[in-house]
Structure 1
Amino acid sequence: MLNRRTFKNLDFFFVFILLLLLGASLVILSTASVNLVESQPYYYVKNQLMWIVIGLGIAIAIASVDYQKFRKFSWWIYGFNIALLLAVFVFGSSAKGAQRWIPVTAGFKIQPSEFAKIFIILTFADFLAKRQGKLNRFRDFIPPFLYVAVPMALIFKQPDLGTTLVFAAIFVGMMFIAGANPWKFGGLLAVGLLIVAFVLWLHFSTDLPGFLKFAEGLPLPFHDYQLKRLTIFLDPMSDTSGDGYHIIQSIWAIGSGGLWGKGYREGTQAQLNFLPEHHTDFIFSVVGEEFGFIGTITLLFLFAMFLLRAINIASKSQDAYGMLVSTGIVSMYIFHILVNVGMTSGIMPVTGIPLPFISYGGSAMLTNMIGVGLLLSINIRRQRLMF
């Protein structure tokens, strides 16, 4: 539990930046969603406020618990995580071609893949902490990979490519901090990326050299629409009314905002609903259109301050487990922010990854706030590291 002494260790600047981001979420959502429900212009804002309040309560509750206690239940948490992901295929509801949600009550459902990110961070941190100094050989990387691959495969099957990629980012970040040989592990990642690029080239090529003709149109374990979404950002004008539509509208929205933006609720792409999913995945485009370059830079500055304080918490953790947990959470936030901003700017694939603390969504907000609670728990129990 919290006491006066541990409370003094609280990073108040980190909390202040968090509150600014949550406040920004409500302001941005109040314009992004005003025309989505005609009879209730503040429907999404009210729901988001509810999730923020619940999330803050959960964050405070988690911060009051010593994070080391979660380590004792690692395998139970891992098992629960797998069971919850499997339950999606039995009890889950489908939407937009994906089966990712489990209905709880009328009008309320949860997305297990969101919470799975926190569960894997907590359990994988314990898994790696026990293997410090034993991640020097290529074969040493196999058990950690398999540990993360199981929930990743279940999430990919839903299908949820975006969250699968988040898992990959968490895995890479935590492996490096756990002491994986940087040359061997980094080299392995580089080779993996080259293989992926080569396989994609084989799949899309129609005029391969004779010795590679047999591999032309190589099949991949992706749906056609997933491949299209992953590659359309390279040439969105090739499908202006289909998969390229989202990117084109997003780029127009951000570009039309100029320096200062068109003004609050004055953005045509968002207010006239030309911009799809502008209260969730493409909410950053609304910031660019209505608040301009100044608005986007301000929001990115807040994220930068938030991440720097989170990294500071990780660096001052009292033990390997705390450092690995905080590293996993920071890796999750960084990947979400970079991919969402890149996606809406047209320089990264459209993967359906929301902007942390800003995009609308109950499961995402609670997941992010649980991450905050864990960071605060680590922060207030920090001690000077003795070497």
Structure 2
Amino acid sequence: MALIDLTRALRGHPVRPPQSGIARRRTVWERTHLDPWLLAMLLVLMLAGLVVLYSASGQRLEAVVAQGIRFGVALVVMLLLAQLSPSTLLRWALPAYAVGLLMLVAVELVGDMGMGAQRWLVIPGVIRFQPSEMMKLAMPLMVAAYLSRRELPPRVKDLAVCALLIGAPVALIAKQPDLGTSLLVATAAVFVVLLAGLSWRFIAVLAGLVAAALPVLWMNLHNYQRQRVLTFLDPNSDPLGSGWNIIQSTTAIGSGGLFGKGWLQGTQSQLEFLPERHTDFIVAVLGEEFGLAGMLAVLVLYLLIISRGLWLAAGAQDTFGRLLAGSIVLTFFIYVFVNVGMVSGILPVVGVPLPLVSYGGTSSVTLLAGFGILMAIHAHRRLLPR
């Protein structure tokens, strides 16, 4: 090849540029914009979730199949979102936020009731979904888009605008009522604001204002929400009522010991003492059947996913990408922390599922969609010229 190029140059013809490093064949991961390490860990987590779910659901294979189908849909959504550029995400921020807000208003007006709450929209014969789940992504997307166009760290005026952007959907979600989801949506947006560079002095002032507002918040809680807080402080005050869930979950985890009773051998779960064992309290099934070792293995897997996610987020090359990617990963961490904390008795019960392990479709799609956005931001960094 070099001899041919030399001959062409001597004859006055243009020489083709070297192909190595420029026109090399891209790997499948570069073409799909997926991160192989993060994808592998997510797949392992979902597989472990299906194994635990089979036991937690009372060995109902149809529940595992349904969850597997949901995971498949969520993976497709992740793949599609991974193809988007940060500039496209930036343009979609306001429309996504507006649509999510309108759907929350629709829930308030014509939403479907279930378990004493009005949280769902129903398209007859097609789908039943929670619009609040969409806001877990639309909210940080909107706040990151707004702050990325402003001088950082944000000024008081910009923080006031962010408070309005956060407050409207959070209030609508809390009114459904869904305190857990409203807190997660607010947390996702607050992480964006914190990553924008707030000073510790300002954070301390905000923390003081939140502490001062707690009595007002307490007075506006529903009775069952107040009872959850009181039960957290003293589960044995109502052992057969509001304290039942936490007492049974801690009993299940404690009885698992170091290596557990064995898969499908848990007494608290299989004899149905443990409530909501396939959703919010599935980690108690994990602890009872696989013991401390099984719980630590899953927690280490979560830690690896979060660490990889933060590494990808740190590589973002613009303000919007860094703010959004960091918020997505830190919100995933909050999911894990809150669920494990409430099941083990160190936090009040707020109805937060264990990510990609608890039974549920909308939350799985939302979580993997977030990781798709994270991979898109990282892929864009790789594709920029160096």
**Which of 190, 193, 202 is matched with 2:207 structurally?**
190
Match of 1:97 in 2: 116
Distance 1:149 1:198, change over 3 A: closer
Match of 2:74 in 1: 55
Q: Is the 8 A contact 1:336 1:355 kept in 2?
A: yes
- 1:92-140 Cα offsets, whole Å, 9 max, x none, are 1111211111122448410111111111122111011112325244x54
Matched, 1:125 2:163: no
After TM superposition, the structure 1 = structure 2 runs for residues 1-387 of structure 1, keeping only pairs within 5 Å, are 6-7=30-31, 10-34=34-58, 41-106=60-125, 108-133=127-152, 135-137=154-156, 139-184=157-202, 186-197=203-214, 220-383=219-382
Instruction: Give the residue type in structure 1 aligned to 2:265.
Output: E
Match of 1:216 in 2: none
Structure 1 residue 168, shift from structure 2 partner: 2.6
Distance 1:255 1:268, change over 3 A: same
Q: CA RMSD in A?
A: 2.2
SS in 2 for 1:300: helix
Moved more, 23-32 or 174-183: 174-183
Structure 1 residue 188, shift from structure 2 partner: 2.5
Structure 1 residue 360, shift from structure 2 partner: 0.7
Q: Is the 8 A contact 1:316 1:383 kept in 2?
A: no
- 1:154-173 Cα offsets, whole Å, 9 max, x none, are 10111110011112321221
Moved more, 124-133 or 350-359: 124-133
What TM-score does the superposition give when structure 1 sets the normalisation length? 0.88
Structure 1 residue 195, shift from structure 2 partner: 1.5
Instruction: Give the residue type in structure 2 aligned to 1:354.
Output: P
Q: Is the 8 A contact 1:32 1:286 kept in 2?
A: yes
Instruction: Give the residue type in structure 2 aligned to 1:91.
Output: V
Match of 1:205 in 2: none
Q: Is the 8 A contact 2:29 2:36 kept in 1?
A: no
Q: Distance in 1 between matches of 2:116 and 2:356?
A: 26
Q: Distance in 1 between matches of 2:32 and 2:92?
A: 28
Structure 1 residue 10, shift from structure 2 partner: 4.5
Distance 1:272 1:143, change over 3 A: same
What TM-score does the superposition give when structure 2 sets the normalisation length? 0.88
Distance 1:237 1:270, change over 3 A: same
Q: Where do 5+ consecutive residues of structure 1 fail to align?
A: 36-40, 201-218
Structure 1 residue 378, shift from structure 2 partner: 1.1
- 1:302-331 Cα offsets, whole Å, 9 max, x none, are 000000001111100111111111122112
SS in 2 for 1:127: helix
Structure 1 residue 365, shift from structure 2 partner: 0.8
**Aligned residue pairs: how many?**
360
Match of 1:38 in 2: none
Distance 1:5 1:372, change over 3 A: closer
Give % identity: 38
Q: Distance in 1 between matches of 2:230 and 2:308?
A: 34
Q: Is the 8 A contact 2:74 2:369 kept in 1?
A: yes
Q: Distance in 1 between matches of 2:348 and 2:111?
A: 27
